[in-house]
């Protein structure tokens, strides 16, 4: 509406294009100024602790600066504002007079310049405040959660838990939008997993993984658990393999990587394979390399840019290339020995190294 009014106003001026260009610049500057003010009023504040409704520490609440300023302005207007209305009008007239040359310079340009500034200033303020109020808290919250996950991953890495560290890093990058979440979970999976206080299948997997080293299960029992057939038991077996690499079975992992029941299962199979890399002999490492590379290259395989592709590429980067065949050592030339004065063989002098 404001741009349409500016266009109609410019058509009635002697230098229409000059008036239109100047008006657009004034409108743009007003929008930027109003948007900046709206951003300042809309920036969320950080809660220093748990709020009265049990909000977690570090969450974000709407900024109440606008309400406080509004209350303050109301009190000022009631007290002394009525005596300053004349001064306000004079200042607005000065502003219009200063901007009038950019809109044609005649008398009609003065009130139009004031109206143009007020219209776009208020519009920019409302737009900046609404966008900041609606989007910035979520962006800041995601960034904080990603930072917490990265720090948790670093802590797991220092403790030697490479699998848990990579899991936290993947989740952190998903919060930042750097990785897609392709690990879809079947609806019936939640009913097939054991009851737990953890939230969702990811929490159950993390709990099983953390207790794997204290489990009395053997590698054969974990292999039988995976071969049971139900996806819930296969996920439990993969979580146990993640927590304790001595329980891992490469054939089971290759089955879950090459023929997964779901992306969620394939993701956790790749995590388990990540923790097994240092234990694999050359032949089994080659099998794992071929399986992972095959799923990356297959048209219906691991999606590019997903959490699984990040893990797969990391596994391939950690697997060393097959060693080159050793070169045959050159034949050593034995020089004939010369007889000494007493008929004894004298060693032939060796060339300097």
**Encoding tokens for residue 9?**
């106003």
Q: Are 195 and 122 members of one domain?
A: no
Q: Are 119 and 204 members of one domain?
A: no
Q: Are 113 and 34 members of one domain?
A: yes
pLDDT, tens digit (0-9, with 9 covering 90-100), for 161-172: 778 788 888 878
Q: Are 183 and 113 members of one domain?
A: no
- Please state, in angstroms and rounded to a whole number, the distance separating the CA atoms of residues 37 and 122: 10
Q: Are 131 and 183 members of one domain?
A: no
Q: Are 112 and 168 members of one domain?
A: no
> Which of 79, 107, 139 is a domain's end point?
139
CA distances to 6, 303, 315 from 21, in Å: 10, 49, 58
Lowest mean pLDDT among 77-86, 196-205, 312-321, 342-351: 342-351
Domain assignment present for residue 68? The answer is: yes
Which run of H or of E encompasses 159?
none
Domain containing 247 equals 160-318
pLDDT value for 44: 75
Domain assignment present for residue 146? The answer is: no
Domain assignment present for residue 330? The answer is: no
pLDDT value for 253: 92
Please tell me whether residue 346 adopts helix, strand or coil conformation.
strand
Q: Are 62 and 122 members of one domain?
A: yes
Exposed, middle or buried by CB within 10 Å (0-12, 13-18, 19+), for 192?
middle
Domain assignment present for residue 90? The answer is: yes
Whole-model pTM over 0.75: no
Domain assignment present for residue 294? The answer is: yes
Q: Are 77 and 22 members of one domain?
A: yes
Number of structural domains found in the chain: 2
Domain assignment present for residue 350? The answer is: no
Q: Are 130 and 58 members of one domain?
A: yes
Q: Are 172 and 258 members of one domain?
A: yes
Lowest mean pLDDT among 57-61, 71-75, 210-214, 275-279: 57-61
Q: Are 58 and 175 members of one domain?
A: no
């Amino acid at each position: 509406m404001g741009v349409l009014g500016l266009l109609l106003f410019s058509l009635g001026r002697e230098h229409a294009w000059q008036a239109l260009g100047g008006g657009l610049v004034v409108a743009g500057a007003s929008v930027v100024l109003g948007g900046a003010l709206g951003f300042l009023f809309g920036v969320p504040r950080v809660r220093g602790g748990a709020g009265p409704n049990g909000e977690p520490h570090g969450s974000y609440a709407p900024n109440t600066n606008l309400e406080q300023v509004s209350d303050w302005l109301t009190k000022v207007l009631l007290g002394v504002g009525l005596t300053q209305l004349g001064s306000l009008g004079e200042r607005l007239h000065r502003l219009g007079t200063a901007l009038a040359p950019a809109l044609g310079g005649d008398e009609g340009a003065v009130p139009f310049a004031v109206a143009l500034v007020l219209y776009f200033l208020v519009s920019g303020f409302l737009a900046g405040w609404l966008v900041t109020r609606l989007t910035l808290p979520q962006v800041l919250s995601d960034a904080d959660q990603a930072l917490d996950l990265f720090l948790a991953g670093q802590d797991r890495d220092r403790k030697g838990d490479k699998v848990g560290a990579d899991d936290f890093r993947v989740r952190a990058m998903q919060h930042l939008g750097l990785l897609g979440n392709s690990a879809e979970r079947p609806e019936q999976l939640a009913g097939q997993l054991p009851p737990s206080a953890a939230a969702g299948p990811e929490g159950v997997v993390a709990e099983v993984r953390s207790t794997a080293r204290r489990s009395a299960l053997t590698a054969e029992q974990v292999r039988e658990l995976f071969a049971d057939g139900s996806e819930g038991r296969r996920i439990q077996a993969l979580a146990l393999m993640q927590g304790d690499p001595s329980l891992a079975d490469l054939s089971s992992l290759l089955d879950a990587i090459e023929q997964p029941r779901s992306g969620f299962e394939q993701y956790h199979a790749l995590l388990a394979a990540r923790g097994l890399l240092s234990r694999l002999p050359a032949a089994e490492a080659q099998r794992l390399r071929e399986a992972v590379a095959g799923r990356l290259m297959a048209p219906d395989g691991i999606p590019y840019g997903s959490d699984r592709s990040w893990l797969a590429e990391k596994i391939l980067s950690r697997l060393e290339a097959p060693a080159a065949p050793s070169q045959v050592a050159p034949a050593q030339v034995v020089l004939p020995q010369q007889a000494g004065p007493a008929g004894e063989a004298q060693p032939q002098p060796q060339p300097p190294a």
